[in-house]
Structure 1
Amino acid sequence: MVTQTQKTQRVEETASLDRKSTDEKAEHVETSSDGSVDLQHGDEALRLIDAEEKVEFSEEYNLKLRRKLDMLIPPICAFVYFTQFLDKTSLNYASVMGFPVTGQGYNLVSMAFYLGFLFWEFPTTYISQKLRAAKYLGVNIIAWGIILMLHAAAESFGAFFALRFLLGMCESCVAPILILIISMFYKKNEQARRISWFYNGITMIFGGFVAYGVSFYDGHRLAPWKIIYILLGALAILVGICVLIWLPDSPVHAHFLTQEERVAALERVRDDQGGTENKTLKKEQIKEAVMDIRTWLIVITTLLTSVPNGGISNFSNLIIKGFGYTSKQTLILSTPGGAVAAAMTLFCGWYSDRKNERMVPIIFALVPTILGAGLLIGFNRAGQKGVLLFAIYLTGTFGSALSSVYAYNASNTSGHTKKSTINAMTLVAFSIGNIVGSEIFQPKDAPDYIPGKIAIMVLLSVQLAISVLLRWVNLRLNKKKLVVIEEIKRKHGWTDEDVQRERNKHAFADLTDKENPYFVYTA
């Protein structure tokens, strides 16, 4: 190990490295069956740090650095996701403010967003790997802000369908990029909480109040729903500009950090074995991602929890209005649901990092939604508005499940191409689930939508079993890895110090979680 007294000298040495020679050093990665690794084609992190020797920083220094990261990265991520959630659910607010498309046409327009999302998910994920991820994200945000503002000029079903499709394409890059950025800057036991800071229901509160305020305008010059689109589009453009200026692509390119702090940021996450950034698209990692049983369990998880999202995010206001409220009352009464969703997401993020769990928080998130759907069905004709409102607020807790899925992907996948592939597959499942969800609340079932509510109960109940299974698989894989490490130690007569040296070398070699014997899964 390199002590803290040596770190300044090491940083100065790494800063003066010729980029060409460093790239040659990280040109290719080969692993051998004995647990050792040859460094070539490793992560970009190898431009700044030594593959074998770890630079030690004091706990006080690392805490100060983490606070500095927290002052910039999670807030910007929060603004991005805040904007995205507002923009994709803008149709929900417009639906009770005189939006010109109704009935099955409304269902299809709501579906169009996720069709665009589905169509462009894999291309946008791999494009972002080749480019500077944060810069690519910023350009997409500005583009969708312009598209959102164009909604105010549309009048026909075809125009709205096309604009929603393009909106979905532009927004499909958000989650994969934000997950990658969080995983590059934060340790495994810090990731879920940071993701919960930006993926929560506070947006629903803000959006509800904005829509409520706009609804008082009489619309003699511009329809209230058009004002919503113009305001949200302008906000997206502003956020996109901020992302282009301030959000870093990776610790290597984090210009708000000093050279020493960049090295410290990389060393902080070295032991997690998750790696950072690699621009080479590796087909063998794509194959491994597709062949990994855990990938498909996550895909099923995302699919099952996204069907309710497609329904509730687009129809919750119509459901509340169906209880007997006016449009204005509906907009303001939708806001407490955002508070419930935010509270659950923040709790799940805290619990997930505190207990080193990912699946248990998903169970916490799903049970109240199942209960809420049951209450909506059971008290459907009882006329008890208070119970029905309480039930619809409970249904919002399921959103925390997707936040936990994002944290799971960040913590349980290594190898940049594999990460990108699994994130893309996750978001494809998300879009398919939302497409299905947009059709479970059929116009013929209005205003009760009983079949859709039953579907939510059944799908999420099945997901409870999937969560338990996935947790068991990860714990079983960890036990197998311990056996492999002990076998490597016995075969070579290695000490714990030798093992740590190899662990250091593996960290930024762009190995997948299966290739790397030192990678530990989070349950």
Structure 2
Amino acid sequence: MSIIRMFYTEDDQPFRMCCFLSFNGIATVVGALLAFGLGHANNAAISSWKLIFLVIGLLNFCFSIIFLIFCPDLPAKAKFLTDQEKTILIQKISKNGKGIKDKKFKPYQAWEAAKDVTVYILALSGLCCGIINGGISNFLSSIIKSLGFTGIEATAYQLPTGAIEFVMVFCSGLAAIFVKNTRCILYFLLCLPGFVAIIVLHLVDLSNKSAVVGTFFFYTIGGPVILNWVSINSIGGDTKRTVASGSWFALYATGNIIGSVIMGISTAPRYTKGMIGFMTCYSAMILMNFAYALILIRRNKQRNKEQGGYNDEIAKQAVLDGFRGLTDFENRSYRYPL
């Protein structure tokens, strides 16, 4: 029960999601170590690069099965919790004002999502994140090799990227739980390391091997990705939230394809087209984050004006309306987290 209280407090979703991505940082480190070791396999029946893909792919496949079996999609389906713990968990989650998952599709909520400008902002942010992620994840080794390193050395130099991702994203999760309404600020701050690193790599002389330090910060793009998820989960109404989430993932996947295309082997070793594309995406993400924050501040001010402020009674009403399945537009007692 103490674990439930620890990990499911009223407003700790950013922390839990950042914890999730921080473990992805650990996986990046482990993956780089595996790739480095397998890259030295000279007597294997297949090429070392094929061996790397097969081993890491098999590990992912096995983990996906474990995840599918043991990770529930709803508190009520969590077999490792007692009935009392499930009740506590639902009470904790209910404080976010969005209720519990409702699988019934509601067309009017889908239409509301189509009219909500923040849904478009988040989806376009997903597109930008996808472009950066797709280009970097597929061409990081090539970028490092363009600085004069061998293939094996390029693999080894990817180790710090996962470590830095783990530390920065985990710390931002802590900041989100201890300092409320800092999500947009954290989003901006997490954009900066990768943005600056790309600018440096774009301008630096390729003979300067010390520039490899800039690549260590490329994977901090995971931070904005996670905070996008958190923002989507702040949308009230399960159908509306599902439409917003689907739109985000569709554009994120599209962005990953675009990111790989704009890099292109033909633009090596500077990858000018890709670097300019990444800088453009980061600039757009920062501007959209600023617009998103202003919109939410304006909405909260309007609701405070309607209801004469915000107090415990209004907060309780937000919880009740959340359980009724109301959207964030309908639930006037709901206040948007920033």
> TM-score of the superposition, structure 1-length normalised?
0.60
Deviation at 1:219, TM superposition (A): 4.5
Any conservation in 1 of the 2:28–2:159 contact (CA below 8 Å)? yes
1:279 is displaced (CA, Å) by: 1.7
Residues of 2 paired with 1:219 and 1:426: CA distance? 44
Kindly report which structure 2 residues correspond to 1:282-431, keeping only aligned pairs within 5 A, or say none.
282-356=106-180, 357-381=182-206, 383-386=207-210, 388-410=211-233, 412-431=234-253
Equivalences for 1:31-430 in 2 at 5 Å?
63-67=2-6, 70=7, 186-187=8-9, 189-200=11-22, 201-356=25-180, 357-381=182-206, 383-386=207-210, 388-410=211-233, 412-430=234-252
Q: How many residues align?
A: 335
Shift of 1:438: 0.9
Counterpart of 1:321, as a letter, is K
Query: How many angstroms apart in 2 are the aligned matches of 1:339 and 1:449?
Result: 25
State which of 262, 278, 287 in structure 2 corresponds to 1:440: 262
Report the CA distance between 1:311 and its aligned residue: 0.8
**Whole-Å Cα distance in 2 between the matches of residues 391 and 187 of structure 1?**
36
Whether the aligned pair in 1 keeps the contact of 2:31 and 2:56 (CA below 8 Å) is no
The residue aligned with 1:28 is: none
- Identity score, percent: 25
RMSD: 2.2
In structure 2, the gaps of 5 or more residues are: none
Give the C-alpha shift of residue 484 in structure 1.
3.0
Residues 240 and 454 (structure 1 numbering): CA distance in 2 closer, same or farther, change over 3 Å?
closer
The 1:264/1:325 distance shift into structure 2, 3 A limit, reads same
Residues 65-124 of structure 1, C-alpha deviation per residue, up to 9 Å, x if partnerless?
334xx5xxxxxxxxxxxxxxxxxxxxxxxxxxxxxxxxxxxxxxxxxxxxxxxxxxxxxx
Quote the offset at 1:196 in angstroms. 0.9
CA offsets 1:401-428 (integer angstroms, 9 cap, x no match): 1111112222x21111111111111111
Q: Distance in 2 between matches of 1:443 and 1:307?
A: 16
SS of 1:371 mapped into structure 2: helix
* SS of aligned partner of 1:189: coil
Distance 1:455 1:432 in 2: 14
The AA in structure 1 aligned to 2:170 is L
Partner of 1:507: 322
Residue number among 275, 290, 308 corresponding to 1:468 in the alignment? 290
Task: Give the TM-score normalised by the residue count of structure 2.
Answer: 0.92
Distance 2:213 2:238 in 1: 43
Given that 2:130 and 2:252 are in contact with CA atoms closer than 8 Å, whether structure 1 keeps it comes out as yes
> How far off is 1:229 after superposition?
3.0
Q: Report deviation, 1:471.
A: 0.6
Shift of 1:512: 0.8
- What CA distance in whole angstroms lies between the structure 2 residues aligned with 1:362 and 1:224? 38
Rate the CA distance shift 1:443–1:520 in 2: closer, same or farther, 3 A: same
